[in-house]
């Protein structure tokens, strides 16, 4: 299975959004280890049930029982996962089954796994595509320790969607003013609103947010809004996600112009053996009368 770990963008993203770029050699080595010794699979209820939460071999946290780490932040994480899904990959190691029929131990992702466990205890099912790496027993212990430490250090920074969820929640509760949020996070007002509205982006665009950054995502989302009636979201993103911000701005202007030129037109297309009709006409009484008559005739077929 192909490992789905997005590469860090090396354009203006780091400068504009203050994203730290890790050493490329370290990143390449880490991916080699994962590909050589790990299996990337979906994370679901069954995987959580197989985890031995008592085994703390690779966990850099002092606790006697996992109930001790369930705090407000973890419950917040639980709700965040419910809202935006699981963004970061979790790392586990396969071992021999113990008396409780558990055959997996945690390398990295303790708090996220406890949050997921709480979701399951609430009676819900989880299924996140390619969000867990399970290492085989023959991997060297020092490699696992390196990955555990590296992941724990990286998790100090929130993902874009996690920031978006946080900003939306703070704005909704009105506990903090905009000025306080901007100063606390050391960002501009424009960047704040770019992050805040990321929660409302299509699923396909959310999946590549970390790869492209919020500045490019904002432009792509505007293009999707204009062009979605002609193409699918996946097709649009695939065609433009690797463009620079300047190229995307040009594409947005062109798309706006194309839509303006199509005003008053009716476009017929066949997509996957289905006829798709795009109507760009004013919603007058006469139009609605003709449209409803047409709709009724179609439904009788």
Report how far apart, in Å, the C-alpha atoms of 252 and of each of 190, 219, 267, 281 are.
19, 7, 21, 22
Q: Report pTM.
A: 0.53
**What is the pLDDT at residue 265?**
62
- Mean of per-residue pLDDT scores for the chain: 80
Mean pLDDT: which of 49-53, 88-92, 258-262, 288-292 is highest? Answer: 49-53
**What is the pLDDT at residue 18?**
32
pLDDT tens readout for residues 181-217: 888 777 888 889 999 999 899 999 998 998 899 999 9
Per-residue pLDDT band for 103 (boundaries 50, 70, 90) equals: very high
pLDDT at 21 over 50: no
Cα separation of 215 and 265, whole Å?
Answer: 32
pLDDT tens readout for residues 36-50: 788 899 999 999 999
Helix, coil or strand: residue 51? strand
94: β partners: 104
**What is the pLDDT at residue 267?**
64
Cα separation of 231 and 228, whole Å?
Answer: 5
270: β partners: 275
Compute how many other C-beta atoms are within 10 angstroms of the C-beta atom of residue 131: 23
Q: What is the mean pLDDT of residues 213-231?
A: 88
Helix, coil or strand: residue 279? strand
pLDDT at 81 over 60: yes
**What is the pLDDT at residue 125?**
94
Cα separation of 158 and 149, whole Å?
Answer: 17
């Amino acid at each position: 299975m192909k490992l789905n770990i997005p590469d860090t963008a090396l354009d203006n993203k780091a400068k504009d959004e203050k994203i730290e770029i890790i050493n490329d050699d370290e990143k390449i080595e880490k991916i080699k280890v994962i590909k050589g010794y790990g299996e990337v699979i979906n994370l679901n209820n069954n995987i959580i049930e197989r985890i031995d939460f008592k085994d703390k071999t690779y966990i850099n946290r002092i606790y006697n029982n996992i109930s001790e780490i369930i705090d407000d932040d973890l419950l917040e994480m639980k709700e965040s996962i419910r809202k935006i899904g699981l963004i970061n990959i979790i790392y586990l190691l396969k071992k021999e089954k113990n008396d409780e029929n558990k055959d997996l131990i945690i390398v990295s992702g303790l708090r996220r796994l406890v949050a997921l466990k709480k979701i399951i205890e609430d009676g819900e099912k989880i299924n996140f595509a390619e969000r867990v790496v399970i290492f085989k027993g023959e991997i060297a212990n020092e490699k696992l320790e390196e990955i555990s430490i590296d992941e724990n250090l990286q998790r100090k920074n929130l993902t874009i969607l996690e920031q978006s969820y946080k900003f939306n929640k703070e704005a909704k509760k009105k506990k903090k003013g905009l000025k306080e949020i901007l100063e606390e996070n050391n960002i501009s007002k424009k960047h704040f609103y770019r992050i805040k509205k990321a929660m409302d982006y299509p699923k396909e665009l959310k999946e590549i947010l970390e790869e492209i950054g919020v500045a490019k995502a904002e432009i792509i989302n505007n293009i999707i809004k204009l062009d979605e009636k002609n193409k699918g979201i996946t097709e649009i993103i695939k065609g433009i996600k690797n463009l620079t911000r300047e190229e995307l701005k040009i594409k947005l202007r062109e798309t706006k112009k194309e839509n303006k030129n199509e005003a008053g037109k009716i476009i017929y297309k066949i997509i996957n053996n289905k006829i798709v009709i795009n109507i760009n006409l004013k919603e007058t009484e006469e139009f609605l009368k003709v449209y409803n008559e047409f709709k009724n005739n179609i439904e009788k077929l």
